[in-house]
Amino acid sequence: MPHIRIAVALVGALSAGFAMAQSEPAAVATATMTGADGAAHGTVTFTETNSGVLIKAELTGLPPGPHAFHFHAVGQCEAPFESAGDHYNPTNVDHGFLAENGPHVGDMPNIHAPDSGDITVEVLNAFVSLAPDSGNSLFDDDGTALLIHADPDDYAGQPAGHAGDRIACGVVER
């Protein structure tokens, strides 16, 4: 089964990259996720690695089912979270993993909340950085927000994958 070997090789490479990043103090950031009604929805930790930013989200109280999970261009989370702006897209490309000229650097795979609404998920976003001097830093002039949407991202629809309402938001902070 070649696909299993590829997955193991990728995990091994990512693990090795993460271990190398840990030999020096890694840049770390956090976000506290809040719903439009003010309810707490958990915390997210961001760790710089040699391969991008490792995102560990420990989320609670989400509606069951798939949800789009994106970085947005402005570090503000005022309900209903339109203050967070559009998807984080410093490279000015199309939205979605299936778009010919995509994806945005803020695009990430959907997350899937179980019936309990509580989920822990880890995602590696190879397109972003915590380094303030990089062109794709989560710490640009107006900051960055992490959003969870009501619906899943279709990975192709413009400009944001038909992901629906913004149901939880957190500002990425050092």
- List the chain domain ranges: 25-171
Q: pTM value?
A: 0.84
Query: How much is the mean pLDDT over the chain?
Result: 87
Higher pLDDT: 136 or 14? It is: 136
List, as one string, the DSSP characters of the chain: -HHHHHHHHHHHHHHHHHHHHHTSPPPEEEEEEEETTS-EEEEEEEEEETTEEEEEEEE-SPPSEEE-EEEESSS---TTTGGG-SB--TT---SSTTSTT---TTB---EEE-TT--EEEEEEETT-BS-TTSTTBTTSTT--EEEEESS---SSSTTTTT--SEEEEEE-B-
- What confidence tens digit (pLDDT) does each residue in 79-96 have? 999 999 999 999 999 999
User: Which token pair is 43?
Assistant: 């915390």
Q: Give me the percent of the chain exceeding a pLDDT of 70.
A: 86
pLDDT value for 27: 79
CATH code reported for the domain at 25-171: 2.60.40.200
